[in-house]
Amino acid sequence: MHRIIFKESLAPGVTRYRVRAPDVARRRKPGQFVLLRLREEGERFPLTIVDSDSEEGSITLIVQEVGVSSALMARLNPGDAILDLLGPLGRPTEIRRHGDCVCVGGGIGVAPLYPIAAALTAAGNRVTGILGAREQRLLILEEEMRRVCADLHIATDDGSSGTRGLVSDLLRDRLRQDDRYAFAAVIGPVPMMKAVCAVTKEAGIPTIVSLNPIMVDGTGMCGGCRVSVGGETRFACVDGPEFDGHRVDFDRLALRLKGYHHLRECALQALGPREAKAPQ
Amino acid sequence: MSGAPLTVRRPRPPRQPMPHQAAAARVTNFCEVALGLTPELAQAEAERCLLCRKPLCVEGCPVGIDIPGFIARMVKGDFEGAARTLREATDLPAVCGRVCPQETQCEKVCVVGRKGEPVAIGRLERFVGDWARTESSAPPPSLPMTRPERVAIVGSGPAGIAAAGELLRRGYRVTIFEALHEPGGVLMYGIPEFRLPKEIVRYEIQQLRRLGAEIRTNALVGQTVTVEELLGEGFGAVFLGTGAGLPILLGVPGEHLNGVYSANEFLIRINLMKAHDFPRHHTPVFVGRRVVVVGGGNTAMDAARVARRLGPEKVCVVYRRSRAEMPARAEEIAHGLEEGIEFFLLTAPVKLLDRGDGWVRGMECVRMELGEPDASGRRRPHPIAGSHFVLDAETVIVALGNNPNRIVPETTAGLDVTPRGTIEVDVDGATTKLGVFAGGDNVTGGATVILAMGAGKRAAAAMDEYLRGQRDGRAVAKATRVGIEEN
C-alpha cells in the first residue's frame, strides 16, 4: 500500500500528488513511469514519474481526469492509499550533453517533460522550454519549467497566455529567428507531437517523444502497448516509452488510443455519480 | 481329457467417466468444465492400477511423482496418505491434475493402456489435490529453517512455485518476487478459470506462505531491484522463473488495428483483470460478433474458448497445418469443438482488413498444403496459389507463442542468453552467472506447467548443492533444451 502524502490541484481536472514509494523514489530516472491499480476491481494504468524525493521516499505523479481510473484517483486524498504501485518501468531518457536543447510540451504532456528538461539542464545543456495549452488556466508546471529552462516560451490556443497559436508554430518561429537546437524532447497529445516532429524533422533536429499507449501489465507480456516505429513493431513498456519522434507512426497511435473510447461513458456511469466526479 | 486349467482373468473395468458440465450450459459461464471424480469413482479408478513394481509412469512424470504409491493409498481409502505422497514430489497436485498433458507423459506409458484405456492418473491426482484442499484436516508440515542462507525466487509461476517449495523443504528462507499484483504467474493470468479455478491457485500460494515463503508482489526484478542487488543484499542464490515474454505477432499488414489482440493481452484482460465483468471491473475488452483466433496450441484453445463465453455469434480457429500437427491437447480441441468453435485448418493469415476507421473487419487467408518435414519434424505448410478468401471478424486474437522477456538478461551482467533470447543453463539449471539459476519458459520457450515445475525443482536441488559447496555456482556445460514451439 502506498500512502498519498500530498495533493494539490494544478488546473481544472489536473491534480498533483506525492505518493510514498521509497523503492521507486530511490532508483527512478527521468523518463520512467509507474503502473497503478487503485482497488480490487481497478485497471492497471501507467503514469510518468514527474519527480522524486528519496529522503521523503516519495514520487510525484500528475493525473488528468479522463476516464474511470483517473476519476477514482481524483477522489483520493492525503492519507488514502494506492493499492498497487509497480515501478520504475520503461527505459530512462538517454541524457547526454547536446548543447542547445528544446523541450516542447503540450497540455498534460508537460508533466513527463519536466524531469527530462531538468535532467538535460543538470547535464550541462542549455534548455529552451516551449509549453502549450488550450488556455492559460490549463497550463501546468510553468514555474517549475521556468526554473530548469534557460528560457521559456508559451503558446495558448486563445492567446490567454504567451503567443496565440500552437507550439509547433512557436517552434517554427524560434527556428526562423535563428534559434539552433541539437536535440528536442517533445511530449503532449498525439496531434501536437506529430506537428512538432514534422517541424524538427524539417530542421534536422534529433527528436525523442514519450508515448503513452494503452497498457495492461507494463512488464513486457501483453503487447497491448505496441507502436509502429520506422515500420517496426515496438513495445512502449519495455522498448520505450521514448522513441525517435521522426519514425513514430502517430496516426496509428491515435487510432489505437481510441480503442476503448466507446466504453468510457458506460464505465463512468457504472461508477455512480458519487465516485465519477471529484469535488472541485 | 482335462485341458490346462483356465487362468481366470478378471476383465479390467473401463476407465471411470469424468463428469462434465454440458457444452450448452458451460459456454454461458466461466465455471469449471470437468467437474472432478466423486470419492467412489476415484476409488474405482484407482483400483484399475496394476501398482507395477517397476512403474513406467513415474519415469514419464517430469517431477517424478510416486504414482503407484499415491494410488495404492487411494485404493485403501487413505486419501490423506495419498495427498502426503503427492506433496513429496509436487507443490501443485490440484493444478497438474487439471492442466498436465498426461496423455503424453505418465498415461502414455501406463501398462494398463496397452490394452484399453490407461489409468486416469491425472484425474486421480486432481481428486487427491482437491480432497486435500477441501476435506483434509492435516496441518501443513512445519518446515524448520535449518539453513542460514536466504534464496530469492524471481517469478511466482509454476517454475518459481516448484523451486520455492523444494528450497523450503530443504530448510532455506525463501523470498518470491512477483511483478504483477497477484502471485501465480501463468496460472493466474494465462489459464482460464474454466480450466483452472483461481481459488485453487490462491490456495496453493497460501500454502507456500504457510510453509514460510515471503512473497513480494509489484516487484519487477530488473527494474524495481536487480539480480545483482539481490545477490548483494544477502540472497545466497537466485532462481529466475520469469516465464515467457512479449507475444509473437502475425507479422502481416494490419496487426496494429483495433480489435486485434495477442492471446496474452486478451487472456490477461479476462483472467487477471476480469474484463468479462466490465464495467463492474474497470478493465475493458472488446469481443465482436465474429472472433478469429490464430494458432494451434493450448493458448489458442484457451483464447477461443474464453471468447466463446463472451457471447459472439461465431468463433473460428485458424491454423496453418493440419489437426495432426496441432500442439494443443486433444482434450482441449474436443472441448472447443463441443462448444461450437469452428476450425479452419491448413489456413494461414495473409493480412488483416481495416473497416476504414482503424478497426479490424476481417482477415484475408490462404489455404495451405503440407510439404516436406521442417526443422521441427512437422511437415512444412505451403500456400496454395489462388486460394485466398476472407474471414469476417471484429476481433482477432493471435496465439503464436512468445519471445523471451528481455528485462532480466538486459539488466544482469554475465547472464548469457541463446540467439533466441532464452537463458543459457546447464542440465541442472545453473546459468553463466555465479549463484543464478533458471528454469521454465524463460529457458525452454513456451512449454508446459509441469516442465516448468520440473525445471524449478531440479534447479532448487542444484542451488542447495551450490550453497552447501558441493557444486559450481554457474553452468558447467551449456545444455539448453529445445522448447516446444507453439505455432
Each residue's pLDDT tens digit, A124-143: 999 999 999 999 999 999 99
Is B142 a residue whose pLDDT tops 80?
no
Residue A23: which of B224, B262, B278 has the nearest Cβ? Answer: B224
Coarse DSSP helix, strand, coil percentages of chain A, rounded to the nearest 5 percent: 30, 30, 35
| Weakest mean pLDDT among B12-16, B423-427, B455-459 | B12-16
Q: What pLDDT was estimated at residue A271?
A: 79
Interface test with A, best of B189, B256, B261, B282 (most A CBs within 10 A): B282
Interface test with A, best of B189, B202, B218 (most A CBs within 10 A): B218
Chain A nearest CA to B282, separation (Å): 5
Q: What pLDDT was estimated at residue B182?
A: 96
Q: Do A267 and B179 touch (CB under 8 A)?
A: no
- Set of chain B residues whose Cβ sits within 8 Å of the Cβ of A255: 256-258, 357-358
Q: How far apart are CA A109 and CA B140, in angstroms?
A: 53
Q: What pLDDT was estimated at residue B481?
A: 45
User: Measured in Å, how far apart are chain B's first and last C-alpha atoms?
Assistant: 65
Q: Do B220 and A41 touch (CB under 8 A)?
A: no
Please name which of B346, B327, B335 lies closest in space to residue B306, comparing C-alpha atoms.
B335
| Weakest mean pLDDT among A56-60, A250-254, B377-381 | B377-381
**pLDDT, mean of residues A245-264:** 91
Interface test with A, best of B156, B215, B216, B223 (most A CBs within 10 A): B223
Interface of B with A (CB under 8 A): 179-181, 189, 217-220, 223-225, 244-247, 249, 255-259, 261-262, 264-265, 268-269, 273-274, 278-284, 286, 357-358, 402, 405-407
Residue A86: which of B220, B268, B283 has the nearest Cβ? Answer: B220
pLDDT-derived band at B480, boundaries 50, 70, 90:
very low
A6-34: string of b/e by CB count within 10 Å (b at 16+)? ebeebbebbbbbbbbbbbbbebbebbbbb
Residue A59 β-bridge partners: A19, A52
Residue A279: CB partners within 8 Å, gap ≥ 6? none
- Across the A:B interface, residue pairs with CB atoms under 8 Å apart total 122
Q: State the residue for C-alpha cell 512477483.
A: B178
pLDDT-derived band at B446, boundaries 50, 70, 90:
confident
Intrachain domains A2-91 and A100-210 with the same fold? no
**pLDDT, mean of residues B131-139:** 86
Is B487 a residue whose pLDDT tops 50?
no
Chain B nearest CA to A269, separation (Å): 9
Please report, as a single letter, which amino acid is at residue B486.
E
Q: What pLDDT was estimated at residue A83?
A: 96
Please name which of B154, B350, B313 lies closest in space to residue B241, comparing C-alpha atoms.
B154
- Set of chain A residues whose Cβ sits within 8 Å of the Cβ of B276: none
**Would you state the cell numbers that stand for residue B39, as one nine-digit string?**
470419492
Count the Cβ atoms, other than its own, within 10 Å of residue B8: 5
Q: What pLDDT was estimated at residue B8?
A: 57
Instruction: Please write the tens of the pLDDT for every residue from B330-340.
Output: 999 999 999 99
Interface test with B, best of A33, A221, A275 (most B CBs within 10 A): A221
**HEC readout, chain B:** CCCCCCCCCCCCCCCCCCCECCHHHHCCCCCCCECCCCHHHHHHHHCCCCCCCCCHHHHCCCCCCCHHHHHHHHHCCCHHHHHHHHHHHCCCHHHHHHHCCHHHCHHHCCHHHHCCCCCCHHHHHHHHHHHHHHCCCCCCCCCCCCCCCEEEEECCCHHHHHHHHHHHHCCCEEEEECCCCCCCCHHHHCCCCCCCCHHHHHHHHHHHHHCCCEEECCCCECCCECHHHHHHCCEEEEEECCCEEEECCCCCCCCCCECEEEHHHHHHHHHHCCHHHCCCCCCCCCCCCEEEEECCCHHHHHHHHHHHCCCCCEEEEECCCCHHHCCCCHHHHHHHHHCCCEEECCEEEEEEEECCCCEEEEEEEEEEEEEEECCCCCEEEEECCCCCEEEECCEEEECCCEEECCHHHHHCCCCCECCCCCECCCCCCECCCCCEEECCHHHHCCCCHHHHHHHHHHHHHHHHHHHCCCCCCCCCCCCCCCCCCCC
Of all residues in chain A, the one with the smallest CA distance to B281 is A41
Q: State the residue for C-alpha cell 498525439.
A: A190
B29-52: string of b/e by CB count within 10 Å (b at 16+)? ebebbbebbeeebbbebbebbeee
Of all residues in chain B, the one with the smallest CA distance to A22 is B224
**Would you state the cell numbers that stand for residue B273, as one nine-digit string?**
483483470
Q: How far apart are CA B412 and CA B59, in angstroms?
A: 36
Greater pLDDT, A65 or B482: A65
pLDDT-derived band at B398, boundaries 50, 70, 90:
very high
Q: What pLDDT was estimated at residue B479?
A: 54
Count the Cβ atoms, other than its own, within 10 Å of residue B117: 14
Domain range annotation of chain A: 2-91, 100-210
Omega before B279 within 30 of 0, i.e. cis: yes
Is B448 a residue whose pLDDT tops 70?
yes
Q: How far apart are CA A40 and CA B91, in angstroms?
A: 27
Domain A100-210: which CATH class? alpha beta
Helices (H) and strands (E) in chain A, counts: 10, 17
Q: What pLDDT was estimated at residue A275?
A: 66
Instruction: Please write the tens of the pLDDT for every residue from B209-241.
Output: 999 999 999 999 999 999 999 999 999 999 999
A69 touches chain B (CB under 8 A): yes
Please name which of B195, B194, B243, B143 lies closest in space to residue B29, comparing C-alpha atoms.
B194
Instruction: Please write the tens of the pLDDT for every residue from B114-126.
Output: 888 999 999 999 9
Q: What pLDDT was estimated at residue B379?
A: 85
Q: What percent of chain A has pLDDT over 70?
A: 97
Q: State the residue for C-alpha cell 539488466.
A: B411
A263 touches chain B (CB under 8 A): yes
- Set of chain B residues whose Cβ sits within 8 Å of the Cβ of A22: none
Chain A nearest CA to B8, separation (Å): 59
Is A279 a residue whose pLDDT tops 80?
no
Q: What pLDDT was estimated at residue B484?
A: 40
User: Measured in Å, how far apart are chain A's first and last C-alpha atoms?
Assistant: 26
| Weakest mean pLDDT among A67-71, A272-276, B206-210, B363-367 | A272-276
Q: What pLDDT was estimated at residue B81?
A: 94
Is A277 a residue whose pLDDT tops 60?
no
Of all residues in chain A, the one with the smallest CA distance to B279 is A267
Chain B nearest CA to A28, separation (Å): 9
Greater pLDDT, B442 or B9: B442
Is B195 a residue whose pLDDT tops 60?
yes
pLDDT-derived band at B344, boundaries 50, 70, 90:
very high
Q: What is the mean pLDDT of chain A?
A: 93
A257 touches chain B (CB under 8 A): no
Q: What percent of chain A has pLDDT over 90?
A: 87
Is B143 a residue whose pLDDT tops 70?
yes
Query: With contact defined as beta carbons under 8 Å apart, do B167 and B91 qualify?
Result: no
- Set of chain B residues whose Cβ sits within 8 Å of the Cβ of A238: 246, 405-407
Residue B349 β-bridge partners: B365
A275 touches chain B (CB under 8 A): no
Q: Do A222 and B247 touch (CB under 8 A)?
A: yes
> What ipTM score was computed for the predicted complex, to two decimals?
0.93
Of all residues in chain B, the one with the smallest CA distance to A89 is B223
Q: Do B244 and A84 touch (CB under 8 A)?
A: no
Instruction: Please write the tens of the pLDDT for every residue from B19-59.
Output: 999 999 999 999 999 999 999 999 999 999 999 999 999 99
Please name which of B114, B55, B44, B40 lies closest in space to residue B85, comparing C-alpha atoms.
B55
Assign domain A2-91 to its CATH architecture. Beta Barrel (2.40)
Q: How far apart are CA B328 and CA B298, in angstroms?
A: 4
β-pairing verdict for A232-235 and A163-164: unpaired
- Set of chain A residues whose Cβ sits within 8 Å of the Cβ of B233: none
Q: Is A21 helix (H, G, I), strand (E, B) or coil?
A: coil
Omega before B144 within 30 of 0, i.e. cis: no
Instruction: Please write the tens of the pLDDT for every residue from A171-222.
Output: 999 999 888 999 999 999 999 999 999 999 999 999 999 999 999 999 999 9
**DSSP 8-class letter at A137:** G
β-pairing verdict for B290-294 and B314-318: parallel
Q: Considering Cα of B227, then B228, then B230, then B236, what sign does the dihedral take? A: positive
Chain A nearest CA to B259, separation (Å): 8
pLDDT-derived band at A23, boundaries 50, 70, 90:
very high
